[in-house]
């Protein structure tokens, strides 16, 4: 190794010395498209000499070859630009000037382009045996998304992206080709420049299990997904490996797919400067429908005394018609947010050295009033390469990000913004949020706090108080990057080494004031840190061989070592001493600290061989052997094979008129999901004992000063092995009508076996549960892309792209249980896995229905009434109302039927306009927000309501009559004594407080009622992106502001959503990017739309 470095250093000196000589060769020329347009930023290079440059805005280039290397030899001069076919010319190098012009043909199919396939391997587009989905820098730029995951929305078929809300910094969830695991993450592995990075999310609320009656992910604040630390402007391209057929080279970490991100690099040539500045304005995309006609109260009467949190008359809005002013709670918490995003880049280099540097600062002042919605990211990146010798190149890529978020409490949480806001009676003024007399937090359930009430519960927080007073922050410092070496040992053999690192420290604070609500009353401070650090070592050797023009190939062998460490440390303090600051030291009591560490080691070897036959049939075979510390001792190593074939059949067939290019491809691969750490060990624990838990705080196993331990209730699974998805993928890509159109079709079938879940054990066996490889899932589907370029003229052009995809998920096997919940601590409805059903179907209660419910529901026999009735007919009792079937059943499926996107762009000279529509058909959402607000009487649905009064202790209602089974009120068949024989529909019944709040089968669904009644269609069509760009005349720009190029863009993001969904937005999820359960809306933060104006300067 030393010798190698020495040689490298020597040759560097020699090169530098000889460059001083005068006998150099200069190659100049122009690169233009076949339409005659000058092509800027094209790379012109001589690969054998490692010399290259870039064309300027006029398409001209100039390459200088030092005299020492000019020996009259014949070299290959190449020109390359993405979107065009590369061209190569033979040039004889001799001192003096040489001229060569290139005319590049457009290459919409990207043939010949290098495709990064992971773990140090690469191939070319036409050789790829699986479908290629690439997202280019320009598409990411145009999305105007600060979060790279969100920028992938609607970019490729079967890449499902869900933004948890429009709050600044809120996580985005990404899933490709369905859920293939139960316990693990269903999101893909993110790899940046060859190094896996962390894209996890963590809820601060999980630092506080004492108050966490439910899982932290469904309350607390928004959580970032850690890929948000990546500045999207630094991204050159993203390759999406959707399934094991493509990603098997990543073995046990690729079961949910892989996202390969390549960052920008400098190119030889004069330094280029870029400055990109964007300002955007965003607001909440919808006003929530609320009623403003009826006042606070219950049983048709207003509260008779000043409200206190314990007064049941004050919770809801079932009072008299409002007599006096009302307040617009749908809008009072929101204003127009703004985002400033500035990035400065500089790149360039010589034939031996390249560099790319960027510095950026983004600040998003979110669309809520007050300071508690803000996201900012300062980031810097430096990517450099140095050719140490003709054979050895050193690369260094590194980025630092300082990411900060200020959040507001949300979700299923009495401190939550929308829970308090949308439940506020219309006649209550949330302003001022501090009581003028005492300065204390006032809320609609506690409007007049008195001296001494500082630490009293507020019932629900005043939303404006939540937006201003508490402090919920996440402050992250992150550094990630890698050091790489490329060594071309022989003409046919090269080595690649990458050592990558990823470190982040996330400091969390949740400071709840003295006059907080619920468990935070009296003040509460949660402080914690999440530290993540990982190292990745990847060494590959690739040998290429060529027997003759018709037979060639390569062999790659590699080794990967990966170390991941995660530490979570936190303490909850209770009872603030002074009102401020929110620090642990300023609290009276502290809970026991949480201190959890996870260390994972992977050790893997892989090999890949390719054979190219007759330049039309390309075969690839690969295998990876993974070892992981998370596997059971008896199964510590696992093999993951892959094979694919691509056949360019148009090379074989005679030239076709319609089909100008065609490729058939087939691939098979296996990849997995590694078990969670430490499931294999039999452990002892010192946590509170099970016996007596519901009887108080319980007994700790340590007593009287003696430490106690007992066997953990989860039995170690010594023979646990990785989950394994075996996927077959078949498809074709065709270029039609002289590349005016291309079409891609893919069918895949993935069986995920050995899927791990915590199987319940008989407690009498000594344990409660054990992780077992006991489930089998299937995801199969179709993916299609059609791109049309009807007009491609020099001055104007029009193109359209369509994507369509379908994924069908089914649980094939679930050993030992009938169903399991994806997230055990949630409130209903629960996302579950059940045999024969798609993963994640929603389980909950519903109305007694024929063919769905048991014959006897509670004490009511519905079988007789149901005889002969259609399946699903709603049973109505004598009063005309449905009854509740308490047996939990499957009531919805959040998985979409199909997804798609439509992209179109039109340009005329320097003007361009483009739009991107995101389509999602089917898939359901449990709209608990609506259910709760119906019970609270604030939802717009309750504005038309029966008049209800209490007569002799009974709520009696008249008016607003509806009949079940009619078009305006739960249409569909009905049966039972409540059916009016005259109409065949339900008896007309008054719908008011009696139904929405009181009736046990009510469609208020989240409290006592039928959960099923809240399930809604969550399909949508979104105008994701629209942008208008203008490339200002370069001559003008150069003269006036001295830069080479100026692009102005006016864009919109999420401007319109067409949906039947009644809540804020069908794109949302309570559990954010953390939970496997999808399709839950419960006072989730709203989505936003944005208008963006940006200026892009380059010099």
Partner 1 sequence: MRRTVAALLGAVLIGASAGGCKDFLNEEDVAQDPNNPTKATRDQLLISAQTALFGLQESGVAQTACMWMQQCAGTGGRFVEQRGTNYQRLTSDYNNDFSQLYIGAGLVDLRKIQANADAAGDKVYVGVAKVLEAFLIGFGADAWGNIPYSEAAGDNASPKFDNQLEVYAALQTLLSSAITDLDGAGNGPGAFDLVYGGDKAKWKAAAYTLKARYYMHTAEGPTRGTFVAEAYQNAITAATSGIESAEGDFRAFHGPATSERNIWYQFFTASGFGNDLVAGARLVDLMKARNDPRLSAYFLPNELGDYGGLDVNTSTPANQISALNLEPEYRQPLLTWAENQLILAEAKFQTGGGAAAAEPHVNAVRQAVGLAPLAVGEVTLQSIMEEKYVALFQNVEAWSDYRRTCFPVLDPAGAAAEIPGRVYYGQAEENANPNTPTVAEQDAANGGRNPNDPSACTP
Sites for partner 1 among residues 636-675 (CB under 8 A): 636
Q: Which residues are CB-contacts of 605 (< 8 A; sequence separation ≥ 6)?
A: 557, 558, 559, 560, 624, 625
- H or E segment at 1041? helix 1034-1041
**Helix (H), strand (E) counts: the chain:** 11, 59
Task: Return d(Cα 725, Cα 636) in angstroms, integer.
Answer: 18
Query: Which one of residues 701, 797, 801, 858 is an interface residue with partner 1 (CB under 8 A)?
Result: 701
Alpha-helical runs (H) found in 413-557: 417-423, 463-468
Q: Which residues are CB-contacts of 654 (< 8 A; sequence separation ≥ 6)?
A: none
Query: Which one of residues 711, 861, 887, 958 is an interface residue with partner 1 (CB under 8 A)?
Result: 711
Give the range of 124-132, 596-604, 724-732, 880-888 binding partner 1 by CB under 8 A.
Answer: 596-604
Task: Return d(Cα 99, Cα 185) in angstroms, integer.
Answer: 56
Copy the structure tokens of residue 254: 């690729």
Q: How far is the CB of 328 from partner 1 (least distance, A)?
A: 38
Q: Which residues are CB-contacts of 406 (< 8 A; sequence separation ≥ 6)?
A: 371, 372, 373, 374, 375, 471, 472, 473
The CA dihedral of 411, 416, 418, 423, to the nearest 10 degrees, is 110
Q: How far is the CB of 605 from partner 1 (least distance, A)?
A: 7
Q: How far is the CB of 602 from partner 1 (least distance, A)?
A: 8
Choice between 391 and 997, CB closer to partner 1? 391
Q: Which of residues 836-895 bind partner 1 (CB under 8 A)?
A: none
- Kindly determine how many residues on this chain lie close enough to bind partner 1 according to the rule CB under 8 A: 71
Q: Is 561 in the site for partner 1 (CB under 8 A)?
A: yes
Q: Which of residues 610-639 bind partner 1 (CB under 8 A)?
A: 627-629, 636
Choice between 682 and 983, CB closer to partner 1? 682
Give the range of 273-281, 314-322, 688-696, 956-964 binding partner 1 by CB under 8 A.
Answer: 688-696
Choice between 20 and 490, CB closer to partner 1? 490
Task: Return d(Cα 469, Cα 370) in angstroms, integer.
Answer: 9
Q: Which of residues 1038-1077 bind partner 1 (CB under 8 A)?
A: none
- H or E segment at 863? helix 863-866
Task: Return d(Cα 464, Cα 1027) in angstroms, integer.
Answer: 35
For residue 842, count CB atoms less than 10 angstroms from its CB and return exposed for 0-12, middle for 13-18, buried for 19 or more. buried
Query: Which one of residues 306, 700, 795, 944 is an interface residue with partner 1 (CB under 8 A)?
Result: 700
Strands (E), 85-152: 87-92, 96-99, 102-104, 114-118, 121-124, 133-136
Q: Is 696 in the site for partner 1 (CB under 8 A)?
A: yes
Query: Which one of residues 57, 124, 559, 827 is an interface residue with partner 1 (CB under 8 A)?
Result: 559
Query: Which one of residues 71, 90, 323, 765 is an interface residue with partner 1 (CB under 8 A)?
Result: 765
Choice between 146 and 541, CB closer to partner 1? 541
Query: Which one of residues 762, 859, 951, 967 is an interface residue with partner 1 (CB under 8 A)?
Result: 762
Q: Which of 650, 804, 657 is nearest to 732 (CA)?
A: 650
- Sheet arrangement for strand 51-54: 51-54, 43-46, 74-80, 87-92
Q: How far is the CB of 559 from partner 1 (least distance, A)?
A: 5
Choice between 90 and 765, CB closer to partner 1? 765
Q: Is 609 in the site for partner 1 (CB under 8 A)?
A: no
Distance of CA 539 to the CA centre of its chain: 30
Instruction: Mark residues 576-595: x for contact with partner 1 by CB under 8 A, - for none.
Output: -------------------x
Instruction: Mark residues 814-833: x for contact with partner 1 by CB under 8 A, - for none.
Output: --xx----------------
State the residue for tokens 């990075």.
197
Query: Which one of residues 270, 336, 682, 958 is an interface residue with partner 1 (CB under 8 A)?
Result: 682
Give the range of 134-142, 558-566, 780-788, 1051-1059 binding partner 1 by CB under 8 A.
Answer: 558-566
Choice between 693 and 1040, CB closer to partner 1? 693
DSSP state of 998: I
Query: Which one of residues 495, 582, 668, 964 is an interface residue with partner 1 (CB under 8 A)?
Result: 495
Choice between 555 and 613, CB closer to partner 1? 555
Strand, helix or coil at 580? coil
Q: Is 768 in the site for partner 1 (CB under 8 A)?
A: yes
Q: How far is the CB of 419 from partner 1 (least distance, A)?
A: 22
Q: Which of residues 17-76 bind partner 1 (CB under 8 A)?
A: none
Choice between 312 and 696, CB closer to partner 1? 696
Query: Which one of residues 350, 386, 429, 685 is an interface residue with partner 1 (CB under 8 A)?
Result: 685
In the chain the first and final C-alpha atoms are separated, in Å, by 41
Query: Which one of residues 90, 703, 967, 968 is an interface residue with partner 1 (CB under 8 A)?
Result: 703
Copy the structure tokens of residue 99: 């001229």
Q: Which of residues 401-460 bind partner 1 (CB under 8 A)?
A: none
Q: How far is the CB of 252 from partner 1 (least distance, A)?
A: 12
Strands (E), 922-995: 924-927, 947-951, 954-958, 961-962, 974-975, 989-990
Give the range of 79-87, 455-463, 694-702, 779-787 binding partner 1 by CB under 8 A.
Answer: 694-702
Choice between 305 and 695, CB closer to partner 1? 695
Q: Is 1091 in the site for partner 1 (CB under 8 A)?
A: no
Q: Which residues are CB-contacts of 580 (< 8 A; sequence separation ≥ 6)?
A: 586
Q: How far is the CB of 49 from partner 1 (least distance, A)?
A: 18
Q: How far is the CB of 555 from partner 1 (least distance, A)?
A: 12
Backbone φ and ψ for 233, nearest 5 degrees, come out as -65, -20
Query: Which one of residues 22, 655, 695, 968 is an interface residue with partner 1 (CB under 8 A)?
Result: 695
Query: Which one of residues 382, 713, 955, 998 is an interface residue with partner 1 (CB under 8 A)?
Result: 713
Give the range of 290-298, 710-718, 735-743, 795-803 binding partner 1 by CB under 8 A.
Answer: 710-718
Q: How far is the CB of 727 from partner 1 (least distance, A)?
A: 27
For residue 884, count CB atoms less than 10 angstroms from its CB and return exposed for 0-12, middle for 13-18, buried for 19 or more. buried
Q: Is 531 in the site for partner 1 (CB under 8 A)?
A: no
Query: Which one of residues 88, 270, 550, 597 is an interface residue with partner 1 (CB under 8 A)?
Result: 597
Strand, helix or coil at 92? strand
Task: Return d(Cα 553, Cα 544) in angstroms, integer.
Answer: 6
Q: Is 499 in the site for partner 1 (CB under 8 A)?
A: no
Query: Which one of residues 533, 678, 743, 906 is an interface residue with partner 1 (CB under 8 A)?
Result: 678
Choice between 713 and 788, CB closer to partner 1? 713
Task: Return d(Cα 385, Cα 347) in angstroms, integer.
Answer: 12
Choice between 655 and 762, CB closer to partner 1? 762
Instruction: Mark residues 538-557: x for contact with partner 1 by CB under 8 A, - for none.
Output: -x-x---------------x
Q: Is 312 in the site for partner 1 (CB under 8 A)?
A: no
Q: How far is the CB of 866 from partner 1 (least distance, A)?
A: 24
Q: Which of 388, 377, 405, 56 is nearest to 234 (CA)?
A: 377
Task: Return d(Cα 1050, Cα 1056) in angstroms, integer.
Answer: 16
Strand, helix or coil at 226? helix
Q: Is 691 in the site for partner 1 (CB under 8 A)?
A: yes
Q: Which of residues 210-269 bind partner 1 (CB under 8 A)?
A: none
Say how many CA atoms lie within 13 Å of 656 toward its Cβ.
17
Task: Return d(Cα 128, Cα 241) in angstroms, integer.
Answer: 11
């Amino acid at each position: 190794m030393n010798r190698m470095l020495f040689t490298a250093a020597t040759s560097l000196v020699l090169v530098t010395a000889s460059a001083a000589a005068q006998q150099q060769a200069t190659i100049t020329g122009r690169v233009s498209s076949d339409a005659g347009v000058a092509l800027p930023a094209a790379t012109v290079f001589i690969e054998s000499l490692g010399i290259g440059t870039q064309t300027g805005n006029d398409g001209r280039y100039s390459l200088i070859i030092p005299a020492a290397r000019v020996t009259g030899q014949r070299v290959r001069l190449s020109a390359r630009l993405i979107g065009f076919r590369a061209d190569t010319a033979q040039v004889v190098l001799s001192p003096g000037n040489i001229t060569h012009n290139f005319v590049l043909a457009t290459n919409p199919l990207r043939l010949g382009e290098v495709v990064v396939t992971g773990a140090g391997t690469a191939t070319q587009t036409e050789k790829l045996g699986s479908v290629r989905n690439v997202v280019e820098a320009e598409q990411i730029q145009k999305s105007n998304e600060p979060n790279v995951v969100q920028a992938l929305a609607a970019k490729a078929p079967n890449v499902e992206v869900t933004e948890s809300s429009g709050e600044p910094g809120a996580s985005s969830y990404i899933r490709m080709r369905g859920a293939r695991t139960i316990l693990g993450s269903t999101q893909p592995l993110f790899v940046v420049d060859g190094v896996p990075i962390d894209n996890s999310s963590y809820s601060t609320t999980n630092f506080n299990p004492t108050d966490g009656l439910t899982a932290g992910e469904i309350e607390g604040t928004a959580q970032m997904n850690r890929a948000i630390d990546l500045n999207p402007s630094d991204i050159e391209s993203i390759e999406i490996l959707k399934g094991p057929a493509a990603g098997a080279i990543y073995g046990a970490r690729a079961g949910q797919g892989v996202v390969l991100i390549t960052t920008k690099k400098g190119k030889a040539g004069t330094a280029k400067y870029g400055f990109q500045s964007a300002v955007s304005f965003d607001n909440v995309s919808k006003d929530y429908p609320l009623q403003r006609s009826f006042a606070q109260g219950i049983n048709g009467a207003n509260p008779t005394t000043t409200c206190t949190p314990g007064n049941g008359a004050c919770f809801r809005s079932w009072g008299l018609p409002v007599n006096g002013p009302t307040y617009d709670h749908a809008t009072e918490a929101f204003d127009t947010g703004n985002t400033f995003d500035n990035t400065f880049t500089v790149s360039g280099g010589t034939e031996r050295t390249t560099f790319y540097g960027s510095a950026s600062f983004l600040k998003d002042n979110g669309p809520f009033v007050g300071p508690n919605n803000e996201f900012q990211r300062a980031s810097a990146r430096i990517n450099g390469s140095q050719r140490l010798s003709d054979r050895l190149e050193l690369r260094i890529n590194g980025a630092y990000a300082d990411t900060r978020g200020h959040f507001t409490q949300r979700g299923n949480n009495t401190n939550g913004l929308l829970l308090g806001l949308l439940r506020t009676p219309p006649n209550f003024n949330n302003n001022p949020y501090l009581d003028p007399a005492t300065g204390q937090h006032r809320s609609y359930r506690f409007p007049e706090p008195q001296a001494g009430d500082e630490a009293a519960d507020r019932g629900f927080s005043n939303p404006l108080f939540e937006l201003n007073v508490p402090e919920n922050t996440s402050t992250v410092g992150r550094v990630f990057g890698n050091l790489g070496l490329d060594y071309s040992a022989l003409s046919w053999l090269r080595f690649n080494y990458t050592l990558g690192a990823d470190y982040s420290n996330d400091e969390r604070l949740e400071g709840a004031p003295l006059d907080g609500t619920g468990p935070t009353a009296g003040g509460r401070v949660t402080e914690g840190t999440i530290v993540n650090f990982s190292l990745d070592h990847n060494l590959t050797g690739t040998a290429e061989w060529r027997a003759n023009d018709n037979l060639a190939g390569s062999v790659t062998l590699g080794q990967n070592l990966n170390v991941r460490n995660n530490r979570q440390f936190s303490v909850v303090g209770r009872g603030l001493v002074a009102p401020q600051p929110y620090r642990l030291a300023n609290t009276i009591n502290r809970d026991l600290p949480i201190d959890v560490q996870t260390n994972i080691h992977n050790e893997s070897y892989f090999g890949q061989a390719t054979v190219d036959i007759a330049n039309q049939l390309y075969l690839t075979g690969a295998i990876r052997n993974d070892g992981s510390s998370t596997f059971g001792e008896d199964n510590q190593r696992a093999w993951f094979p892959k094979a694919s074939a691509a056949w360019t059949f148009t090379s074989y067939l005679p030239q076709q008129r319609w089909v100008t290019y065609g490729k058939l491809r087939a691939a098979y691969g296996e990849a997995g999901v590694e078990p969670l750490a430490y499931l294999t060990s039999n452990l002892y624990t010192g946590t509170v004992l099970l016996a007596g838990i519901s009887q108080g705080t319980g007994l700790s196993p340590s007593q009287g000063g003696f430490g106690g331990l007992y066997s953990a209730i989860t039995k170690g699974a010594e023979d646990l092995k990785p989950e394994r998805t075996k996927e077959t993928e078949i498809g074709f890509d065709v270029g039609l009508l002289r590349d005016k159109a291309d079409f891609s079709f893919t069918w895949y079938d993935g069986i995920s076996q050995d899927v791990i879940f915590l199987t319940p054990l008989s407690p009498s066996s000594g344990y409660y549960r054990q992780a077992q490889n006991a489930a089998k899932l299937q995801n199969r589907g179709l993916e299609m892309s059609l791109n049309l370029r009807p007009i491609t003229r020099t001055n104007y052009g029009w193109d359209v792209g369509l994507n369509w995809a379908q994924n069908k998920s089914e649980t094939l096997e679930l050993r030992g249980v009938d169903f399991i919940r994806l997230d055990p601590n949630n409130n209903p409805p629960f996302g579950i896995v059940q045999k024969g059903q798609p993963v994640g179907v929603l389980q909950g209660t519903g109305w007694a229905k024929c063919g769905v419910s048991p014959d006897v529901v509670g004490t009511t026999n519905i079988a007789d009434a149901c005889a002969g009735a259609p399946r699903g007919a709603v049973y109505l009792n004598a009063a005309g109302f449905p009854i509740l079937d308490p047996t939990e059943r499957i009531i919805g499926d959040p998985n979409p039927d199909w997804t798609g996107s439509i992209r179109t762009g039109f340009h005329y000279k320097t003007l361009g306009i483009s739009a991107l529509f995101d389509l999602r058909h089917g898939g359901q959402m449990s709209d608990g927000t609506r259910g709760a607000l119906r019970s609270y009487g604030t939802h717009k649905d309750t504005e038309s309501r029966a008049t209800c009064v209490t007569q002799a202790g009974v709520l009696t209602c008249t008016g607003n009559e509806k009949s079940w089974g009619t078009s305006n009120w739960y249409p569909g068949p009905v049966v039972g004594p409540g059916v009016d024989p005259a109409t065949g529909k339900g008896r007309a019944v008054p719908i008011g407080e009696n139904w929405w709040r009181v009736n046990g089968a009510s469609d208020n669904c989240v409290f006592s009622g039928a959960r099923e009644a809240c399930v809604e269609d969550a399909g949508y069509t979104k105008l994701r992106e629209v942008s208008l760009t203008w490339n200002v005349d370069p001559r003008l720009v150069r003269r006036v502001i001295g830069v080479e190029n100026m692009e102005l863009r006016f864009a919109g993001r999420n401007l319109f959503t067409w949906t039947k969904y009644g809540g804020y937005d069908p794109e949302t999820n309570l559990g954010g990017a953390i939970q496997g359960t999808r399709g839950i809306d419960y006072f989730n933060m709203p989505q936003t739309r944005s208008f963006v104006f940006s200026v892009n300067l380059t010099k």
